[in-house]
Amino acid sequence: MSAVIEHDNHEDHHHGPDKGLMRWVLTTNHKDIGTLYLWFSFIMFLTGGVFALVIRAELFQPGLQIVEPEFFIQMTTMHGLIMVFGAVMPAFVGLANWLVPMMVGAPDMALPRMNNFSFWILPFAFSMLLATFFMEGGAPNFGWTFYAPLSTEYAPPTVTYFIFGVHLMGASSIMGSINIIVTILNMRAPGLKLMQMPLFVWTWLITAYLLLAVMPVLAGVVTMMLMDIHFATAFFDAGGGGDPVLFQHVFWFFGHPEVYIMILPAFGIVSAIIPTFARKRLFGYASMVYATSAIAFLSFIVWAHHMFTAGIPITGEMYFMYATMLIAIPTGVKVFNWVATMWKGSMTFETPMLFSVAFVILFTIGGLSGLMLSIVPADFQYHDTYFVVAHFHYVLVPGAVFSIMAAVYYWLPKWTGNMYNEALGKTHFWLSFIGINVTFFPQHFTGLAGMPRRIPDYALQFADYNMISSCGAFLFGFSQILFLFIILQTIRGGKKATDQVWEGAHGLEWTIPSPAPYHSFSTPPKNLEEAHG
Amino acid sequence: MSEQSYEAYYVPHNSKLPIFASLGIFLTLFGIGSILNDMTAGVEHSAGTWVVLVGGLVLGFTLFYWFATVIEENQQKLYSDQMNRSYVWAMAWFIFSEVMFFMAFFGALFYVRFWVVGWLGGEGDRGPSDMLWPAYTPEWPLMSNPEADKFVGPAEVIPSLQLPLVNTMLLITSSFTVTIAHHAIKEGNRKKLINWLAATIALGLIFLVVQGYEYYHAYVDLGLTLASGIYGTTFFMLTGFHGAHVTIGTFMLIVMLGRALKGHFDADDCFGFEAASWYWHFVDVVWVGLFIFVYLLGGGPTGF
């Protein structure tokens, strides 16, 4: 008996995908939707990347050369929004769509139609956001953190479309998260216990929980903005008894869990790849699960470390400083577990492993600069400088983005049935690795020396480091064309992949053919001991 | 587990519903955005009205057809127990996300009330604001705002033990009546189900009428509006979003009543009803929170 009943409007009963464009518009298949998410996120990654290159081109030399300051701040704002909500988050949701049902032995996602809905909201949401460039007043210009009153009293009228765009993205994320949670809790192959799940599934379960907890809060804060702008409420206006700092509290109550939303699935990916290429089981599986949970819990109670200079009471600053430092403990558990997994392993360094090892090293650098930022008196110096920019780009680019690239190289043979070109993959890695470090490492120095973020011009003493930084950015940016080429080449052909693909790979997705059939597990898998990667 | 005992999981092949729903929700929000921008800019006859109309129709019809499809599939017994559990989990997590939405607004209320109002009066480290607005007195409800010309404070606020108490009793009673209706399904007593469900809907509608009257009274007689400073802001946003949720919940219950009249629901298969009743209980619990923190402990008069 098939576990999937194909409901078809036509009389002919077929199990494969439809032909043509409408396959992608109407699909309810988790693999198709995963592919849609991944391509969408790649387009957004390139779009946000172009914005970043505009920023770096302007900052190549001191003085104003290329763009007006008004446009520069629109670029920084949209670069952040597009990368966070358009590139990183949809990429992880795309990976979850492809992988979670295969990893837990499910026929598909729990709610397939809603899955399609979650995806197709996104192109509309980002069209609304990007359309603001062509409207009166220009695109949002208040930074991706859209602090009030910059985003209320002093905002261009397009802020209204920004608000509704955020509402749409939130609706997409909430429905996507519900789908992922329900799939994990309800669709596991019979007998597959929670503590047997691959860590990618675990980290996504916790990520989806975080999304459900904080995306409504984001919806709340943009609604408050909407009311302040159009209905004369006083949430963020001290003259009416409100407080602009209230905005920052509500925003960062969303924003801090949000940064873990962008990194926990990355932890899951790296925890799948390192054991494969070290040819050892993951060290400390249970502690990885508990550490992820601990990080998720702590993410709710540290938000005001983003606001040390906003004028919160000193006792509050002390509390948030120490609570923030606690995060280093579970994160350290993870880093040591990855290192212990590699210890005395039979390591090989294929492209996914290169990206993963780079992730462990460079994410740790980003984590440690985060620890520096958590120290209240030091933060008064670092706040709103390029040191902060360097910090969060180290956790997001060689962190989140590298993990996504690692995941693409690692699972692409399973998705397409073809091996990618290893030499080109390694070239892409080294160009990206060098590009990223050349871009962001100098920003630590300019930041510590006091160069403020989001400003199109700077003092002459920062010129050399900025020129180096811009060169790195262009290297990294153009390297991604190679990435696109490698993916297209692999889709079109190449050496046929085996079912297991990698000799050290464990997990249910490696037990099915490559490319994975349209419906992976019509009947539930029996070899559950394979599941735990 | 043998292959035979593994139940089929229903995966529809293709659906036109989501793309139309996406288009509908996009047009609706884009249109509302245009209307709001035109309103604030002082433009009359916003073109956004037409966009909202089209978007609302697309969204409304799509959602109607979507729910109808799901109900139809369920009636055809296409859904396994596992499928039904997916809906149960999904509804539970959806309500959790709704709770978090209200948390944002409750959080704003507590933060303003316990810290901001005092700080604006010069308490703590916030000395300078004392010099900005020397006439300002910190109190809750905040009757006179720091910038009193821009934000004209309310003359009075709603007393807690009059209409709000009535509304509390209405909603708490409705929680019981909807539970009785649920028991009626379990007993297979359709007449009882219909009567108690209708009673629940009536209570919800009366609540909305009372709330509407309270808003009218606040705006016309008391000068308590969205624009009357932070008290009016938090008051109307919290009770207003709750009222919107009561409206949605009542609508859900009306749909359930229609389904009950058509002979849907039996003791083993009534999650549509249960989902609506969960939502209704959630709305009730939020109201109890509102009654306690906005009205009863809200510092205003009791009215007794």
The CATH number of the domain where B284 resides is what? 1.20.120.80
Domain interval for residue A221: 27-530
Has residue A1 got a pLDDT over 80?
A: no
CA of A108: which chain B residue's CA is closest? B11
Residue contact B26–A27, C-beta within 8 A: no
What are the tens digits of pLDDT across the range A415-445? 999 999 999 999 999 999 999 999 999 999 9
Residue B214 domain-assigned (yes or no) = yes
Claim to verify: residue B27 and residue B106 sit in the same structural domain = no
What are the tens digits of pLDDT across the range A166-188? 999 999 999 999 999 999 999 99
CA distances from A518 to A101, A130, A521, A527, B134 (A): 12, 34, 9, 20, 71
A 10 A CB-CB count for B245 gives 19
Residue contact A161–B33, C-beta within 8 A: yes
What are the tens digits of pLDDT across the range B17-42? 999 999 999 999 999 999 999 999 99
Residue contact A181–B89, C-beta within 8 A: yes
Kindly state the DSSP code that residue B12 receives in the 8-state scheme.
E
pLDDT at B4: 39
pLDDT at A3: 46
Please give the Cα distance from A381 to A390 (Å, whole number): 15
pLDDT at B216: 97
Residue contact B101–A220, C-beta within 8 A: yes
Say how many CA atoms lie within 13 Å of A104 toward its Cβ.
Answer: 30
Kindly state the DSSP code that residue B4 receives in the 8-state scheme.
T
Kindly state the DSSP code that residue B295 receives in the 8-state scheme.
I
Claim to verify: residue B153 and residue B290 sit in the same structural domain = yes
pLDDT at A6: 47
What are the tens digits of pLDDT across the range A265-319? 999 999 999 999 999 999 999 999 999 999 999 999 999 999 999 988 899 999 9
A 10 A CB-CB count for A19 gives 7
Kindly state the DSSP code that residue A267 receives in the 8-state scheme.
H
**Is A172 a catalytic site residue?**
yes
Nearest to A174, CA basis, from A125, A135, A209: A209
End-to-end, the C-alpha distance of chain B in Å comes to: 66
Claim to verify: residue B91 and residue B68 sit in the same structural domain = no
Residue B2 domain-assigned (yes or no) = no
Residue A56 domain-assigned (yes or no) = yes
Top residue of A1, A2, A4, A5 to mutate, by most chain B CBs within 10 Å, is: A5
E strand or H helix at A4, and its extent? strand A4-7
Structurally, chain A folds into a number of domains equal to: 1
Of the candidates B3, B10, B145, the beta carbon closest to that of A523 is on: B3
Of the candidates A121, A224, A241, the beta carbon closest to that of B142 is on: A241
Using a CB-CB distance cutoff of 8 angstroms, which residues of chain B are in contact with residue A174? 94, 97
Structurally, chain B folds into a number of domains equal to: 2
Claim to verify: residue B143 and residue B256 sit in the same structural domain = yes
Residue B139 domain-assigned (yes or no) = yes
Q: Kindly state the average pLDDT of the residues A91-114.
A: 96
Please give the Cα distance from B36 to B43 (Å, whole number): 10
**Is some CB atom of chain A closer than 8 A to the CB atom of B43?**
no
E strand or H helix at B11, and its extent? strand B9-12
What are the tens digits of pLDDT across the range B250-282? 999 999 999 999 999 999 999 999 999 999 999
Claim to verify: residue B61 and residue B94 sit in the same structural domain = no
Nearest to A231, CA basis, from B105, B238, B153, B226: B226
Mean pLDDT of chain A: 94
Say how many CA atoms lie within 13 Å of A429 toward its Cβ.
Answer: 24
Please report how the helices A422-448 and A402-416 are oriented relative to each other, as an axis angle in degrees rounded to 10.
160
What are the tens digits of pLDDT across the range A465-504? 999 999 999 999 999 999 999 999 999 999 999 999 999 9
Residue A130 domain-assigned (yes or no) = yes
Claim to verify: residue B161 and residue B290 sit in the same structural domain = yes
Please give the Cα distance from B145 to B135 (Å, whole number): 9
Nearest to A248, CA basis, from A161, A159, A152, A163: A152
**DSSP-based helix, strand, coil % in chain A, nearest 5:** 70, 0, 30
Claim to verify: residue B150 and residue B233 sit in the same structural domain = yes
pLDDT at A521: 87
Active-site pick, A258, A350, A379, A509: A258
CA of B62: which chain A residue's CA is closest? A117
pLDDT at A208: 98
Has residue A2 got a pLDDT over 60?
A: no
Residue B284 domain-assigned (yes or no) = yes
Tokens read off for B295: 């009205």
- Looking at B75, B95, B128, the residue that finishes a domain is B75
**Is A173 a catalytic site residue?**
yes
Quickly state the pLDDT bin for A533 (edges 50, 70, 90). low
pLDDT at B126: 56
Please give the Cα distance from A356 to A63 (Å, whole number): 39
Active-site pick, A39, A120, A144, A209: A144
**Is A319 a catalytic site residue?**
no
CATH number at residue A475: 1.20.210.10
B141: preceding bond cis by omega (within 30 degrees): yes
Quickly state the pLDDT bin for A153 (edges 50, 70, 90). very high
CA of B39: which chain A residue's CA is closest? A230
CA of B78: which chain A residue's CA is closest? A5
Top residue of B22, B46, B239 to mutate, by most chain A CBs within 10 Å, is: B22
Residue A458 domain-assigned (yes or no) = yes
What are the tens digits of pLDDT across the range B185-228? 999 999 999 999 999 999 999 999 999 999 999 999 999 999 99
Of the candidates A112, A191, A238, the beta carbon closest to that of B12 is on: A112
pLDDT at A508: 94
Nearest to A512, CA basis, from A189, A273, A269: A189
**Residue for token pair 């520069």:** A72
CA of B118: which chain A residue's CA is closest? A241
Residue B1 domain-assigned (yes or no) = no
pLDDT at B131: 78
Domain interval for residue B104: 85-296
- The β-bridge partners of B9 are A4
Kindly state the DSSP code that residue A451 receives in the 8-state scheme.
P
pLDDT at B1: 35
Residue A524 or B288, more confident: B288
Residue contact B18–A230, C-beta within 8 A: no
Q: How far is CA A236 from the centre of its chain?
A: 29
Query: Cβ(B19)–Cβ(B40) under 8 Å?
Result: no
Claim to verify: residue B128 and residue B178 sit in the same structural domain = yes
A190 min Cα distance to partner chain B (Å):
7
Residue contact B22–A121, C-beta within 8 A: yes
**Is A228 a catalytic site residue?**
no
B84 min Cα distance to partner chain A (Å):
10
**Is A10 a catalytic site residue?**
no
Query: Cβ(A391)–Cβ(A370) under 8 Å?
Result: yes
